[in-house]
Amino acid sequence: MNLVIDVGNTFVKLAVFQDDEMFYQTSVEEQGFKNEFEIILETYPNIDTCIISSVGNLNGTALKLIKHSLKVIVLSSEIKLPFINNYTTPKTLGVDRLALISAASKLYPIKNVLVIDAGTCITYDFITKENIYLGGSISPGIRMRYQSLNNLTANLPLIETQMPENIIGNSTESAIHSGVVFGVLNEIEGVIGSYKEKNSDLTVILTGGDANFLSKQLKSSIFANSNFLLQGLNHILQYNTAE
């Protein structure tokens, strides 16, 4: 069995896999990691291998605990990947994007796939049906847009994310909601449309923290998958431990 650990900026996600099947998945804050990790090892004593994707910072004590208990692979640009990487600066490519493209390679082989990760940033990543990763784009996520309006202006308030009722905002708050949310939706639809102009057989995956919020509003045909990154990490682990 495999343990997948994705260290984000706020939460640590843990998932247990047997081959391609996910048996368990949870998300904890860093201070709750040690307790959750020990519970998982007790519940699934057959776990022997682990992969760590560390976008945020996992403290040294937690890392020592993992390495003491399991055989560990730390995801980096140096690791063997299950696709051809044509990114011109591979060392600057985020490990989360490596995992997402690995999931696309595994779950949608022989397809042109656009993976959209709607989180802190919105990333767009494209892999061809020949299993070649070409790159993509990065733009600010929903919360980052709300926060930027507040931080970089004198009078605009910081408000909670909300689906606007109308494209025309009749107050400052409703105008912000319209600008941010419809701006993101139109951006995503526009990017999908641009890719479809060149790839009529395009498969689109939407994942990340804002995927559920956005998927109900998008007109384009997409597959929403909140566990896509975890599945990609598991595939990389399998790919690097296969005999």
Active site residues: 96
Query: Known binding site for substrate: residues?
Result: 87, 94-97, 172
3-state secondary structure the chain: CEEEEEECCCEEEEEEEECCEEEEEEEEEHHHHHHHHHHHHHHCCCCCEEEEEECCCCCHHHHHHHHHHCEEEECCCCCCCCCEECCCCHHHCCHHHHHHHHHHHHHCCCCCEEEEEECCEEEEEEECCCCEEEEEEEEECHHHHHHHHHHCCCCCCCCCCCCCCCCCCCCHHHHHHHHHHHHHHHHHHHHHHHHHHHCCCCEEEEECCCHHHHHCCCCCCCEECCCHHHHHHHHHHHHHHCC
Binding-site residues for K(+) sit at: 117
Instruction: Show binding-site residues.
Output: 6-13, 87, 94-97, 117, 120, 172
Nearest to 210 by CA among 152, 123, 130: 123
